[in-house]
Structure 1
Amino acid sequence: MRQILRFCLLPFLSLPALLVAQNEVEPNNGFAQAQSISFDQTISGAIDPTGDEDFYQVQVTTPGVLEARLLNIPSGENYEVSIFNAQQQEIAQQSGNETNPAFPNRLVCMPGTYFVKVNEVGNNSSSSSQYQLTVVFDASDIQECNNSFDDATPVSFGAVISASIFDTGDRDYYSINVTEPGVIEALLADIPNNRTYRVTIFNSLQQAISDDAGNETNPAFVNRLVCDPGLYYVMINER
């Protein structure tokens, strides 16, 4: 018996910000003083004086990808933006400058208060010119969080699953129950432009038994005869 799964990948879409721009409110130099902001709201702030660190907090209520976008970095400055979880542990960080904005992102699975920090790399410079920070949240992939065998999303044969590979390093796992001998097939289509994604089938021992890579013009297609009943897995990631 030939049984097929089809996976369609969705692009990460960010809607235009609808909230009024806002300035940072000092003091916001630590977790305890972090300024509360809303998703999609652009914040203008300055790293001044030398050693200044600007902290912001957002409320996460559902699994999704949290991204901090730091733009308009003053000329001659190198700034970094960091994301912290509810335990105040750094989970993503990236630095940028006038021509290379910083866009760290991280899939978060637990609700709670998350923090974003902006500072000058090395904390040895300052500028009265303002940067712009926008924190966005994408909860469009309803399959998340499914980044491991233990968290694999159960699916049925014949189902079409729409999902996305986002955040950086994301891996999506799915589980399928096999009750009789047959051929498992997985088709990975609608891969985003300029990306190469891999689809892998694992047996019930979590050992890879078939894989293939594809791109926007060449879908990835895997199949494998399986003789033993049990829980099998399909994993999708960017190669």
Structure 2
Amino acid sequence: MKKILLACLLVLCSCSVARIAETEPNDDFNHATEIKAKQKTEIIGFLKDKNDVDIYKVTIPKTSKDEENTEKNLSITLAPATGIDMGFMVFNAKYDFIKGINDSPAGEKENLMNLGVKEGDIYFLRFQGLFSASAVIKSTSGYTVILEIQDKANIEREPNDKKVKAASLKLNMEITGFFNPQKIWNIGGNYSDEEDWYRIEVAKGDSILDFDISGVPFVDSAMSVYDENDYKLVEIDNYGDGQGESYHYLGVKGPAYYTLLIKAKNNSGSFTVPYTLRTNFRSYAGNSEREPNDNRSIASEISTKVIGDPGNLISGYINPAGDQDWYKIRLTGRKHIMHVKTESAENLDIVMKICDEMGDVLKTINNMGKEATETISNMGIIPDKTYYLVIADDSGKNSNARDPYKTTITFNPYDKGKEFEPNNKEADAELLEVGSKIAGYLAPREDVDCFKLNVYSEVSLKCSVTGVPGIRIVMEMLYPDGQSKILTSENPGKMLEGVFKLPAGEDCILKLRGADSRESNVRDEYVLTVSQN
């Protein structure tokens, strides 16, 4: 028996809640049940048969005196009858589709959170059941809809599931949103991905921008950042369910805008627990990386004003997995010796490389293992020449989006008493004069230090090198005819001396290295002395 309900309105005096029953027929837009929404409105309706569609024309009330505060958010909750699968769609006053929801199993609630609306505007809500051929409709197959209107402050505004509909995101503000729905139910019954897009305007200046998304239980989130040319700068997906995501030190220059895409993976979602999106925007001080800096063409330029200042560490993040951070270093004036120390963050095995201006590797440092500090010693810097420092995780599989590594770079003017790396190859050997001393490090592992000797007349030389803890030093003299003489210290840390005869007017190469390629010491220098015997 067809049951037609007459419209009724019961206003509860104790609070601003309206309870409204549908009025049949309301199967199309022209006959929609009209609702003057309150702050909270309850709608009661029935599905009279499998093909029944119920449409409501909802007018958002005008309550604000200030024209700038007329934008509100509307949340919609549909509670179907037990065992009934229902969904709903939202349209604007021109009947344009806005969004559709059909996430939950039969008999469970459907929710749309934070739909952006404006006071005085009209919206249409279309409800229907999704029935199998054998389903039975009972006269008790009723449903309830709850509409709640909220202020929009610091809350996302749906629909923002496309870049062209991106919600404005104010800098240094927090905003809350929902991974809701899990999928968008479209006209025709197909589904598309639910995404939250935000637009960030940068007025001017050279700045740094951080993003942090809080975790939501049972939701695996991801985010991507795009520039105004739709170029994807980065995609972040480091953590699993309930852990959120972070991206720090994005370099931005105004005037420009950037867009941020947030989404839940694997059809996960939540309409009960919101995520919180935080931004941190500040001027670039030169003491950090500026993402993206994954290759030499976009390397972060390190200000020499902070290099070597103990209070100004250069910090960066290995994020996402596989990230490489490139830093550009260029000095003027005179030769310098550079020392680099990088303190690792949790879960990382830091590897550092020094590259020349073409990106070719001059030296690789990977001594200490996971979560340990890596050090580069006595790297020679030639003035007016470009070098690159590259910092990464050795495996390329680990990342840490929340804890930065910390790098200190110091320069000392070069003098002849210090080695000048790289000097691992015979072609790079430093010229060593008879009667001189030179200090250096046998680090990283497999390091070889080469020195060139050339005497005017045949001479016998005594070469001595102080001991280095943890290393059995090997001293090798390589002669022009290909012959060599090799000496090895008896124990780690013990001084080594040798006497070598050198021919007149020809280059001989003296090499120092560890007896075991695994041995190295970045803390203790050796001192090599060459004197006439």
Q: TM-score w.r.t. structure 1 length?
A: 0.64
The answer to whether the aligner puts 1:179 opposite 2:457 as a matched pair is yes
Shift of 1:85: 2.4
Structure 1 residue 59 and structure 2 residue 330: aligned? yes
**In the alignment, structure 1 residue 115 sits paired with structure 2 residue 385:** no
Structure 1 segment 1-239 matched on structure 2, within 5 A: 22-37=287-302, 38=304, 39-40=307-308, 41-49=312-320, 52-59=323-330, 66=338, 68-74=340-346, 77-83=347-353, 84-90=355-361, 91-94=363-366, 96-98=369-371, 100-103=372-375, 107-108=379-380, 111-119=385-393, 121-123=395-397, 125-137=399-411, 139=414, 141-142=417-418, 144=420, 147-150=424-427, 152-155=429-432, 157=434, 159-168=435-444, 169-177=447-455, 179-180=457-458, 184-209=460-485, 211=487, 213=489, 218-224=494-500, 229-231=504-506, 233=508, 235-239=510-514
d(CA) in 2 for partners of 1:130, 1:92: 21
Whole-angstrom distance in 2 between the partners of 1:82 and 1:217: 27
- The one-letter code sitting in structure 2 at the alignment partner of 1:134 is T
Cα deviation 1:66-108 (Å, max 9, x = unaligned): 554321403xx2243332322113441538433x233356845
Q: State the partner residue of 1:3.
A: none
- Post-superposition CA distance 1:88-146 (Å, at most 9, x none): 13441538433x23335684576323232335843464422222122345645555365
> Against the structure 1 CA distance between its residues 133 and 22, is the aligned structure 2 distance closer, same or farther, given a 3 Å change threshold?
same
Asked if structure 2 preserves the Cα contact closer than 8 Å seen for 1:202 and 1:232, the reply is: no
Distance 1:54 1:152 in 2: 30
Identity %: 17
Alignment correspondent of 2:34: none
Q: Is the 8 A contact 1:191 1:215 kept in 2?
A: no
Equivalent AA in structure 2 for residue 185 of structure 1? L
* Contact kept? 1:70, 1:131, Cα under 8 Å: yes
Gaps of 5+ in 1: 1-19
Inter-CA distance 205–178: structure 2 relative to 1 (3 Å threshold): farther
| Structure having the higher Rg | 2
**CA-atom RMSD in angstroms:** 3.9
8 Å Cα contact 2:348-2:400 kept in structure 1: no
3-state secondary structure, aligned to 1:32? helix
> How many Å apart are 1:188 and its aligned residue?
0.6
Partner letter of residue 116 of structure 1?
Answer: V
Q: CA–CA distance in 1 between the matches of 2:451 and 2:315? A: 39
- SS of residue paired to 1:22: coil
Corresponding residue SS for 2:471: coil
In structure 2, relative to structure 1, the CA distance for the partners of 1:153 and 1:131 (3 Å cut) is: closer
Amino acid in the other structure paired with 2:342: L
The answer on whether the counterparts of 1:149 and 1:233 sit within 8 Å (CA) in structure 2 is no
User: Using a 3 Å threshold, how does the CA distance of structure 1 residues 108 and 47 change in structure 2: closer, same or farther?
Assistant: same
Q: TM-score, normalised by structure 2?
A: 0.33
Letter aligned with residue 97 of structure 1: K
Indicate if the aligned counterparts of 1:45 and 1:130 stay in contact, CA closer than 8 A.
yes
Counterpart Cα distance in 2 of 1:22 and 1:107? 21
Gaps of 5+ in 2: 1-284, 515-533
Q: Distance in 1 between matches of 2:388 and 2:316?
A: 19
Whether the 8 Å contact between 1:188 and 1:199 is mirrored in structure 2 is no
1: CA distance between counterparts of 2:470 and 2:295? 40
Greater mean alpha carbon deviation, residues 126-135 or residues 108-117: 108-117
CA shift, 1:59, in A, is 1.9
The residue identity in structure 2 corresponding to 1:45 is G
Relative CO higher for 1 or 2, CA cutoff 8 Å, sep ≥ 6? 1
